[in-house]
Structure 1
Amino acid sequence: MEIYISEEDILLNIQNKFREVYPYLKLECYLCPHTTETVSANSQKVAADTPIEDIRLVHSFGWIDIGEQRTVAEVEKDFYRDMGLAIQVFRRHKTGWLQTTRTDNLTLAEQNELGRESVTAETADTEIDA
């Protein structure tokens, strides 16, 4: 699976394309890339309505491979190397979102499944408590 990033895209378009494939994951973009196993600072987060031309370091367009067997680390690296976008993958966790810093070695499919299980477990807990 690949997503196409055009010169005219805004971040929200890229985020939505990604969420169509991985409903329990999301992408956020930051002004600077994060180092291994560190979180990205909220103060560096880029608004979703930002045109990518305004923030990326590499001015190209094309395809990014988001296949289910690719690791989070590989996808984040490709976004930065190929498009100049400092992306951080988040995983759904119960009622919130977690940056996948310590699990960047997992595949997108594995991360998505962990997110799905987390929401399912939260729903089951809620039903039991009700």
Structure 2
Amino acid sequence: MEIYISEDATVATLQHEFQEAYSYLKLEFYRQPHAAGQPCPAKDKLLPGMPIEDVRMMHTFGWIDISRNRTAAAVEEDFSRLYGLNVQIMRKSGDLWLQTTTTDNRTLGQMNEEGN
């Protein structure tokens, strides 16, 4: 599975496409990058209506692999390295969405199966 990063996309567009593939995971976009194993501050979260073109550091477009066998860390790294986008994958736990800081080494498939 892949998501297309285009110049016309918004944060909400990419979030929706990701969540269609993984119902218990979601993407959050942030102004600043985060270190491995560290959470992103809530104050840096971008609003869903933000155009991707306004927030990314690299003005390229193309596909990003979000296959079930990829780790959260690898997907987050690809968003940053390929498109200059700072993302954090979140996992649903009950009524809460948790940042995957301690489980970044798990695959998207594994984390989606653990969500509820």
**TM-score between the two structures when normalised by the length of structure 2:** 0.98
The equivalent residue for 2:114 is 114
Distance 1:83 1:11 in 2: 13
Structure 2 SS opposite 1:39: coil
> What is the deviation of 1:5?
1.1
- What is the aligned partner in structure 2 of residue 15 from structure 1? 15
Structure showing the higher helix proportion among its residues: 1
| Structure showing greater relative contact order (alpha-carbon pairs closer than 8 Å, 6 or more residues apart) | 2
1:54 CA displacement: 0.7
Amino acid at match of 2:100: T
Identity %: 49
3-state DSSP of counterpart to 1:49: coil
Larger Rg belongs to: 1
Aligned to 2:74: 74
Indicate whether 1:94 and 2:94 are aligned: yes
Structure 2 gaps, min length 5: none
Q: Does residue 59 in structure 1 map to residue 59 in structure 2? A: yes
Aligned residues: 116
TM superposition shift of 1:36: 1.1
Name the CA distance, whole Å, in 2 between partners of 1:44 and 1:95. Answer: 22
Letter aligned with residue 18 of structure 1: F
Distance 1:30 1:36 in 2: 15
Structure 1: tracts of 5 or more residues without a match: 120-130
CA distance in 2, matches of 1:67, 1:47: 25
Cα RMSD over matched residues? 0.5
Residue identity opposite 1:31 in structure 2: R
Q: TM-score, normalised by structure 1?
A: 0.88
Task: Please say if 1:38 is aligned against 2:38.
Answer: yes
